[in-house]
A and B are shown apart, each in its own frame.
Chain A
Amino acid sequence: MRWSTGSVRPEALALGLACALAAGGAAGDVAYVTNQNSDEVSILDLGAGMERARIPVPGKPAGVVAGAEGFFTVSPDSKTVRRFDAAGAETGRVNLDGGPIGIAHDAARGRIFVSDWYNARLWVIDAGAMEVTGTLETGAAPAGLAVSPDGRWLVSADKEADRVSVFDLETLGAPRAVAVGTRPFGLGFAPDGRLFVGNVGSNDVSVLDPASGRVLATVPVGERPYGVAFARGRAFVSNQYADTVSVIDLATLAPVAEIAVGEYPEGIDATGDGGTVVVANWFSNTVSLIDSDRLVVTGEIATGDGPRAFGRFIAKQGD
């Protein structure tokens, strides 16, 4: 993860990811969990299974994206995007208007993108200067954002438009709009490049090919799917109202399991080695740690009040 603007090509980014996966291990992985109701970020040492620090972040932080050099947060109430180093010291910020909520990092090009829930657009922000350099039009109420593993695509889940906007990261031209299920909110790219979109209104996940815009499948999950993570050849979907995580086999798209976690599970992400899936339980004020091979909860870590962790909130060793 780089703060500075750079010209690293997507292939270099993909290579970097491959190295990170090879290095692997949850030992050095750190989770940055936005505690929206208590205005904090919990910094969790996933190797040790404990909270390392809790830092104040005003403005009801929800969106987050992490990397080896630190993390960014989005506070919708104060409309502030902040940049922090890995230890949690703030190193920059930018004030926005509207309704900032979701965030994604285009590390190869030194940019971050933030969704504006109220104004059907994304902000393009220079991650080094922390300055807005442009905006992109989306459908109504964009929420979750993601950048594809190969660095080619940026996608937004446009909740009130029942669609996903797919942007070419090289050109940032007008997006391709892809109709998905009802009220998409969170989304994520599988390692093979397919996009998984959680539809909170229809309780399913749309699987689509970002290049063609074709919806490949629609997979039923639990009540109010919120976020998607990937590990060990499976997708893990947090079901906010069911208090569970649905597990889907990536090869067959068949349901594998539904794992009980805490109350109102939201943000979900996997460690670098894929061995652990971490899900933030908004009502319980914990994260649940799921063994992604055995598909059981192996532990919990306490957080502040109202953990959302809306985004890629785990910094993987070697990022």
Chain B
Amino acid sequence: MRMGRRAALAGLVALLPAMALAHGPTRQKVTVTTELAAEPAEVWAAIGNFQDFGWHPAVHATSGAGGNEIDATRVLTVGEAGGPTIAEVLYKYDADKMTYSYRITEVAVEVLPVTNYSSHLTVKPREGGGSLVEWRGAFYRGYPNNDPPPELNDEAAIAAVTAVYQAGLDALVDRFGAP
């Protein structure tokens, strides 16, 4: 996600008062899917470990605790060593259904302009062979009050999350091929 990261970092704005628990009134949702030539088990083996987000090109490093158990945590370092971090917690994990759900516990809105972010990553069999990867997110914009600045409004939140998902799924297409 070189482009996406650059865009996100270029969007740096004046710091906001800390209002981690508040949020604007309308939650947004994003779903991005992609089709891969590889079978679901192979794809899940690559992306189904909550402790290894290294398959995403924007992620420099993953460190965490708790494996794939509920309430496991991880900290993503974005871009490069010493880069910004995103802290996340696992709240659902089902290896049989090849799906896990997590939420962000700490991120600066300058890194990802969202609050109350939760996400699901799922691998499904594709009709005719190969697999379908679905990445879904639910979140509020980065600015918790009325009249957000443009870089922290609903559209900015949707664009940023979509860019993250698209970059990750594009990398999977590069790796596993399109069906």
Contacts and interface: CB of A to CB of B under 8 A. Distances in A.
Interface of A: 36-37, 60, 62, 76-77, 98-99, 101, 117-118, 141, 159-160, 183, 201, 223, 241-242, 263-264, 282-283, 306
A315 B135 CA distance: 36
A117 B120 CA distance: 28
Nearest to A101: B25
Contacts of A201: 21
Most A CB atoms within 10 A — which of B22, B27, B145? B27
- Chain B binding site: helix, strand, loop or mixed by DSSP? strand
Nearest to A243: B92
B29 interface: yes
B138 interface: yes
A62 B26 contact: yes
Contacts of A141: 22
Contacts of B145: 99, 118
Q: Give the residue among B21, B101, B103, B120 with the most A Cβ atoms within 10 A.
A: B21
28 contacts: A36-B26, A36-B27, A60-B26, A62-B26, A76-B25, A76-B26, A77-B25, A77-B26, A98-B146, A99-B25, A99-B145, A117-B25, A118-B145, A141-B22, A159-B21, A201-B21, A223-B91, A241-B91, A241-B92, A241-B101, A241-B103, A241-B118, A242-B92, A264-B138, A282-B138, A283-B29, A283-B138, A306-B29
B21 A160 contact: yes
B25 A60 contact: yes
Nearest to B29: A283
Given A77-B26, A160-B21, A160-B22, A283 B91 contact: no
Interface residues of B, number: 17
A282 B146 contact: no
> Would you list the 8 A-B pairs with minimal beta carbon distance, nearest first?
A76-B25, A60-B26, A101-B25, A99-B25, A283-B29, A36-B26, A241-B91, A223-B91
Interface string B75-94: 00000000000000001100
Contacts of B60: none
A11 B136 CA distance: 49
A242 B29 CA distance: 17
Given A62-B26, A283-B29, A306-B29, 5 more contacts: A36-B26, A60-B25, A223-B91, A241-B103, A241-B118
Contacts of A306: 27, 29
